[in-house]
Amino acid sequence: KTRPMEYRMAQLEALGRFLDDKKQEILEATELDMGKPSFEAFFSEILLCKNELNMTLNNLCHWMKDEYVDKNLVMQLDSAFIRKDPYGVVLIIAPWNYPIHLFLVPLIGAIAAGNCAIIKPSEISKNTERLIAETLSCYLDSDCFAVVTGGVPETTRLLENKFDYIFFTGSPPVGRIVMTAAAKHLTPVTLELGGKNPCYVSDTCNVANVARRVVWGRFFNAGQTCIAPDYVLCTVEMQDKLMPALREAITEFFGPNPRESPDFGRIVSDKQFRRIRALLGSGRVAIGGQTDEAERYIAPTVLADVLPSDPAMQEEIFGPILPIVVIANMDEAIDFINARPQPLVVYAFSCDSKVVNQVLERTSSGGFCGNDTLMHVTLTSLPFGGIGNSGLGKYHGKFTFDTFSHHRGCLHRNMGLETLNTPRYPPYTQQKLGLLTTTFEVKRRGTCTLL
Ligand SMILES: *[C@@H]1O[C@H](CO)[C@@H](O)[C@H](O)[C@H]1NC(C)=O
Ligand SMILES: *[C@@H]1O[C@H](CO)[C@@H](O)[C@H](O)[C@H]1NC(C)=O
């Protein structure tokens, strides 16, 4: 039922109507869940999802087409192609920080590729969970798409079922649990995990611009973003120059008292609030540091002179705290990054593009963004995903379609011309082997050269 292109397009159009009709409810639910400013919710939960939808609807007929491939001499009259088959029933497990975006963007690709899907929203963003559970079924075909709600026990039971693909977004520890459950059924997985994203700031850069771009990326959604710059690496001289610029950017964005700003979010839960608050005892509080448990408010905070052994450097912060770790130079920054698990993104700022390129070349991470933060994920033409501890697999744009498609290698042969086949049949002879070699061999043409 989910295979015809018309069916897929109709379900995708319905997702578009869901976003249009429920826009206000989405903004209200994410505001209730984590005080998400409506501007941020509109941008991340609605606009980026609609871009993915439009892009998918615009290109689906091309993506679905069989891809014809090169053939060898014996098969010149045959057709060899890659068929994009749906996996079957996919499970999408979404987290609470971008509760619409992080289930919808994978779902768009799952539908586009012709799959059925079970969606498991996070129980922590409970207002958004309720909205999804109560309204999504009014838009999608309930024969093929369902929402399952619940916490750890329900998810554990859900994972006992055999799915054909599991797409998980969350933390590395839960990622291991999901992958273990998937292994029982040999189910393929995509794991979108997190980690600590380093942000190297070189001594030569426009300090005011760096500060604005880092402050925006760190404090968007009150820091609850898997691709946020997690900590800054710079020299002690740069820390001195950066601090007033960071203070100015924070004041420019959120006013003298960020608690009263409508543009600064709150922490999603009491548990998360306490975890993040405990990280404030790292280094020295240079900016911010105020908290209010009743509101789950943590001020935009910058910690100076943080040591690698401090609590803030032991886990992904996932909150509005920016530690600065002082290093001596770029080589030391690169060594610092390489001594730790591969992050989801590496950020590097410099007025010298050679410095940015050095950081790119000598480190490994899911993605990379030079001279800015977060912006690389807004391009549907770039694959998004982690490596090592930050995850496996990739999505966004066509990459989501490919993730949810089995690339089935197909060959349709001609039934005639049997003489062309005789060299491979017994009785084997030296002459047949020679013929076989000339028709099958791939010739070495020398190193590829750029024209
Ligand atoms: C998607 O396409 C529709 C129809 O052309 C258009 O109105 C809309 O602005 C496009 N983009 C987004 C983000 O909705
Ligand atoms: C970073 O920005 C600076 C200043 O605009 C520019 O000179 C440099 O080339 C940029 N780096 C990269 C890698 O684009």
Q: What is the pLDDT of residues 207-254, one digit of tens each?
A: 999 999 999 999 999 999 999 999 999 999 999 999 999 999 999 999
- Report the C-alpha gap between 78 and 75 in whole angstroms: 5
Cα dist from 182 to 25, 156, 185, 335, 392, whole Å:
34, 11, 6, 35, 14
Confidence of residue 51 (pLDDT cuts 50, 70, 90): very high
CA of 53 to the centre of ligand 1 (A): 9
- Report the C-alpha gap between 448 and 102 in whole angstroms: 40
pTM listed for this prediction: 0.96
Q: Whose CA is nearest to atom 10 of ligand 2?
A: 353
Query: What is the average per-residue pLDDT within 403-424?
Result: 93
Confidence of residue 371 (pLDDT cuts 50, 70, 90): very high
Is 69 a residue whose pLDDT tops 90? yes
- Greater pLDDT, 447 or 366: 366
When the candidates are 3.40.309.10, 3.20.20.70, 3.30.380.10, 3.40.50.300, the CATH number that belongs to 198-385 is 3.40.309.10
Ligand 1 atom closest to residue 51's alpha carbon, by position in its atom list? 13
Is 441 a residue whose pLDDT tops 90? no
Residues of the chain with CATH 3.40.605.10: 5-193+394-406
Residue-level pLDDT at 72: 84
- Greater pLDDT, 74 or 20: 20
* Pairing outcome for strands 231-234 and 198-201: parallel
Q: Whose CA is nearest to atom 3 of ligand 2?
A: 351
Residue-level pLDDT at 74: 82
Among 406, 403, 407, 405, residue whose Cα is nearest residue 192: 403
Residue-level pLDDT at 442: 84
Residue 192 annotated as catalytic = yes
- Ligand 2 pocket by Cβ (under 6 Å): 351, 353, 356, 370-371
Q: Whose CA is nearest to atom 4 of ligand 2?
A: 351
Residue-level pLDDT at 451: 62
Residues of the chain with CATH 3.40.309.10: 198-385
Among 81, 105, 75, residue whose Cα is nearest residue 92: 105
- Ligand 1 pocket by Cβ (under 6 Å): 47, 50-51, 54
Is 429 a residue whose pLDDT tops 80? yes
Is 258 a residue whose pLDDT tops 90? yes
Superfamily of domain 5-193+394-406: Aldehyde Dehydrogenase; Chain A, domain 1 (3.40.605.10)
Q: Which segment, 70-74, 106-110, 194-198, is predicted with the most confidence on average? A: 106-110
Is 271 a residue whose pLDDT tops 70? yes
Kindly provide the b/e burial profile for residues 185-216, where b requires at least 16 CB atoms within 10 angstroms of the residue's own CB.
Answer: eebbbbbbbbbbbbbbbbeebebbebbbbbbb
Question: How far is Cα of residue 278 from the mean position of the Cα atoms in its chain?
Answer: 27
Query: What is the average per-residue pLDDT within 276-290?
Result: 97
Tell me which of 192-196, 248-252, 316-320 is least confident. 192-196
Q: In this structure, which ligand is nearest to the CA of 12?
A: 1
Q: Is the omega angle on the peptide bond into residue 323 within 30 degrees of 0, that is, cis?
A: no
Confidence of residue 157 (pLDDT cuts 50, 70, 90): very high
CA of 17 to the centre of ligand 1 (A): 11
Q: Whose CA is nearest to atom 11 of ligand 2?
A: 353
Pocket test for ligand 1, best of 20, 26, 50, 58 (most atoms within 8 A of CB): 50
